[in-house]
Each structure stands twice: as structure tokens, then as C-alpha cells.
Amino acid sequence: MNPCLLIPIYNHRDTIREVVVQLAPLALPCFVVDDGSDTETREVLERIAGEFPWVRIGRLPSNRGRGAALRHGYRLAAQHGFTHAVQLDADGQHDPGDVPAFLAAARRRPGALILGAPRFDRTAPPSRRYGRLLSCFWVWVETLSFDVADPLCGFRCIPLEPAVRLLARTPLGEHMDFDPEIVVRLMWAGVPVATVPTRVRYFPNGLSHFHLLRDNARISWAHTRLVCGMLARLPVLLWRRRCAR
């Protein structure tokens, strides 16, 4: 197992340095994928790369979305010989202190997808809580399993070989719909899932790129495609469940 860290970023110039500072004790290489950020954010990233030699900056020439940035990051990490990528967000919502728990779970099950199971406090908006519950329901339907505690949590450890193989043959959404879709499709490919409880924080003036109507529409369309895909794979999924008993 040869793990690295992966952070997609779009204009989070005020929070990214603190995230990197908190990750420094782990002594792991870190890929920060800039999804077409503004000039100020690019300048912050250049300073971070100069200050922390274990941080490598990858760039997309224009803003294409969270899914596009993560897809670029997975391929970049795999090309550099890493087997797993622990991904977390640049806005500080995820606790870098939980990274060792994700790595420990991955070492116990190196072939598994390790997903964060958020522990929300009172700062979490109700819309996020209810939206995640709805997405959970559809993922349970699409996978015929209750293994996924939260398909939208961006804090996770990705086994890169099956992820990159999946991306080479299947187009996935490029925005917020990427997170639940890759979970379902990796499970269809036979990748097991494990979960790690993790604290998720929301800040009063935090910068969020989640667009309530647009991204919910994308996620809904992704679930529509996935339900249709589940029906086509139903005999195989039922056979796997029977064998797992």
C-alpha cells in the first residue's frame, strides 16, 4: 500500500493553507488539483507548493467541476505509483486528524473503498442532512445493500487501480454527481465498502460550490441512470448477495 493525499480546490484560497498545515504531520505526498481557480487562489497554491515540498499542484485550464478535478487527481496519483488516495475538501469541513483512521481501514481492507460516515453538529444545514438521506436511499436501491452510510461525503480513501480502470471505460458526471456515482459503479464492479465515522464541520461564512437546484438536478439524473443500470444488472447483483451470505 502506497497512499497519498488528494485535495480538489476551486477558489478556496482562504482555507487551503490551514488544511495543508494540519496534514503536514502525516508526511504523505499530497496532490492539490486546481479546478480552474482565480488568480488569487493560484498564487496561494504556488506559495504553498514552495513552502511544502510534499505538495504537488495539478491544474485544469478552466473550471470543469468537482468530478473532473477528482478524475484528474486519481489518474495523476496512479501515474506517480500510488495505490490509494485519501481525498478531502479544501474548505476545512473535513478533519485532517481523521486521515489516519481512513488509512488504517484501508490497510485492513486494501481492496475496499473507504467512505466517511459524517457526524454532523448543529452547524449542518437541514438541506444537507435531508439531501444525504435521500441519496442514501437511492444508493441502497441501486446496490441492493446498506453498506453505504453516506454517498455524498467527500472524505474517503479511494483504491486507485479499480477507480482508474472504471474511469477508462465509463463516463461519469463531472460535478457533484460524481461522488455518489463512482461509489455505486465501484460496488457494481465488485469493490467492497467500509466506513469510517468522521466529524464534518460547517462554518458561518464558508465558501460552498454546491448549487441547490442545479446540483440536486444533476444528482437526481445520476440516480435515474443508476437505477436503470441496476435493473440491467439485477441478476448479477442478486447472485452476489446470495454468495455473500
pLDDT of 132: 74
pLDDT of 120: 74
What b/e string do you get for 53-88 counting C-beta neighbours within 10 Å, with b at 16 or more? eebbebebeeebbbbbbbbbbbbbbbeeebbbbbbb
Residue from 71, 17, 59 nearest 35 by CA: 59
- pLDDT tens digits, residue range 48-59? 999 999 999 999
Give the separation between CA 220 and CA 32, rounded to whole angstroms: 28
- pLDDT tens digits, residue range 79-132? 999 999 999 999 888 999 999 999 999 999 999 999 999 887 666 666 666 667
- pLDDT tens digits, residue range 92-105? 889 999 999 999 99
CATH match of 3-244 with 3.40.50.2300 = no
pLDDT of 222: 85
H helices of the chain, where?
16-23, 39-51, 66-79, 99-108, 126-143, 160-169, 178-188, 212-244
For residue 159, give the H/E element and its range: strand 156-159
pLDDT of 155: 95
Q: What is the mean pLDDT of the chain?
A: 89
- Domain residue extents for the chain: 3-244
Among the ranges 64-78, 133-147, 165-179, which has the highest mean pLDDT value?
64-78
Q: Name the least confident of 13-17, 64-68, 201-205.
A: 201-205
pTM for the model: 0.87
Distance of CA 86 to the CA centre of its chain: 8
- pLDDT tens digits, residue range 192-245? 999 999 988 776 665 565 665 676 678 888 888 888 888 888 887 887 777 766
Joined together, the cell numbers standing for residue 159 give 483504491
Gyration radius of the chain's alpha carbons: 17
pLDDT of 159: 98
Give the separation between CA 44 and CA 191, rounded to whole angstroms: 37
CB 195 within 8 A of CB 114: yes
Higher pLDDT, 243 or 152: 152
The per-residue DSSP string of 184-208 comes to HHHHHTT--EEEEEEEE---TT---
